[in-house]
Amino acid sequence: MIADERLIWEGHPSHLKDLGYHALCLLLAPLVVPVALSLRRILDTQFRRYGITSERLRVTTGFLSKHVYELELYRVLETSLHQPFLLRLFRLANLEVMLEDADRPPIVIRAVPDAALLRERLRDCVETMRDRKHIHEAA
């Protein structure tokens, strides 16, 4: 992290996002494969980390090997919030971050608490970075 850069939020998805998946694996538990698939999903969720700083969004994945994807915030076009029923019961939501580059898929920060507040904080940082870099959308 650069000296001016400050951490806004850091976390990982809630395991509640996979509740239905794990329930299905439990029903099929006499078979070995569903248990292995469930364990893999647990590890994938546990070792997925999101970090938002005042300048970047970072997604780190991997258990044995790590993959780090970073996105400069001035490249964020818009955000949207999705609350499927199960996540809504637990006050969790998915935050979708759309990029200026239409060829790249959106980044989805899955099953996080206080996603509306996180979205506003992210929006403020995006605006600050766009102002700092003199980047403004064409009308």
- C-alpha closest to that of 70 among 90, 55, 89: 55
Query: Which domains can be identified in the chain, with CATH numbers?
Result: 7-132 (2.30.29)
| Secondary structure class of 122 (helix, strand, coil) | helix
Residue 3 has pLDDT above 70, yes or no: no
| Alpha carbon of residue 24 to chain centroid | 24
Task: Tell me the pLDDT band of 32, cut-offs 50, 70 and 90.
Answer: low
Q: What is the pLDDT of residue 122?
A: 96
Residue 25 has pLDDT above 80, yes or no: no
pLDDT one-digit tens code per residue, 57-116: 999 999 889 999 999 999 999 999 999 998 999 999 999 999 988 888 999 999 999 999
What's the whole-model pTM score?
0.85
- C-alpha closest to that of 45 among 3, 19, 13, 79: 13
Average pLDDT, the chain: 89
Distance CA 66, CA 68 (A): 7
